[in-house]
């Protein structure tokens, strides 16, 4: 049992993301957990899609990282996904959140999609140290 489990009685599922296979596995696990926690199928799909975007970003922009999935009880039932990496950080969050902005010449729609698909989104980032993105969806 880790610290989060001891505190809330809920498992904090931690999944490494080092390659494409890890991304797919995390997506499947996320969808399964959402269904198990009683989210509607469409919500499970939305949360899993957001997770896929955050996980791919860690892979392509930060050499991998970790995804945490947690069930929330306050103020009501929800699910939180958190993506943590020790990559280069995001120098300008506002710019990164814009549709079609990408530093790698890709679509640049991942972060804005996470914002739309989830109810809450929070980005903490330190240049040269890494990024932590938390996104929540209420059931």
Ligand X SMILES: Nc1ncnc2c1ncn2[C@@H]1O[C@H](COP(=O)(O)OP(=O)(O)O)[C@@H](O)[C@H]1O
x/- string (CB under 6 A) for ligand X, residues 42-61? -----------x---xx-xx
SS3 51: helix
CB 69 within 8 A of CB 25: no
- Nearest approach in angstroms of CB 38 to Mg ion is 29
Task: Give the interface segment with ligand X, choosing from 20-28, 37-45, 73-81, 109-117 (CB under 6 A).
Answer: 109-117
Which residues sit opposite 125 in a β-bridge? Answer: 131
Q: Single out the residue of 14, 45, 88, 132 in contact with ligand X (rule: CB under 6 A).
A: 88
- Nearest approach in angstroms of CB 57 to ligand X is 3
Q: Is 122 exposed, middle or buried (0-12, 13-18, 19+ CB in 10 A)?
A: exposed
User: In 3D, which of 12, 3, 5, 22 has the Cα closest to residue 65?
Assistant: 22
Q: Does 110 bind Mg ion (CB under 5 A)?
A: yes
User: Residue 11 or 112: which CB sits closer to Mg ion?
Assistant: 112
CB 113 within 8 A of CB 102: no
Q: Does 115 bind ligand X (CB under 6 A)?
A: no
User: Residue 113 or 138: which CB sits closer to ligand X?
Assistant: 113
């Amino acid at each position: 049992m880790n610290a989060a489990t001891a505190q809330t009685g809920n498992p904090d599922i931690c999944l490494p993301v080092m390659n494409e296979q890890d991304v797919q596995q995390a997506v499947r696990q996320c969808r399964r957990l959402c269904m198990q926690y009683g989210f509607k199928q469409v919500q499970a799909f939305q949360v899993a899609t957001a997770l896929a975007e955050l996980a791919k970003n860690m892979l392509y922009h930060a050499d991998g990282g970790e995804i945490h999935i947690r069930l929330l009880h306050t103020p009501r039932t929800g699910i939180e996904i958190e993506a943590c990496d020790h990559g280069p950080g995001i120098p300008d969050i506002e710019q990164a959140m814009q549709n079609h902005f990408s530093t790698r010449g890709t679509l640049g729609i991942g972060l804005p999609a996470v914002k739309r698909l989830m109810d809450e989104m929070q980005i903490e980032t330190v240049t040269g140290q890494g990024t932590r993105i938390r996104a929540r969806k209420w059931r």
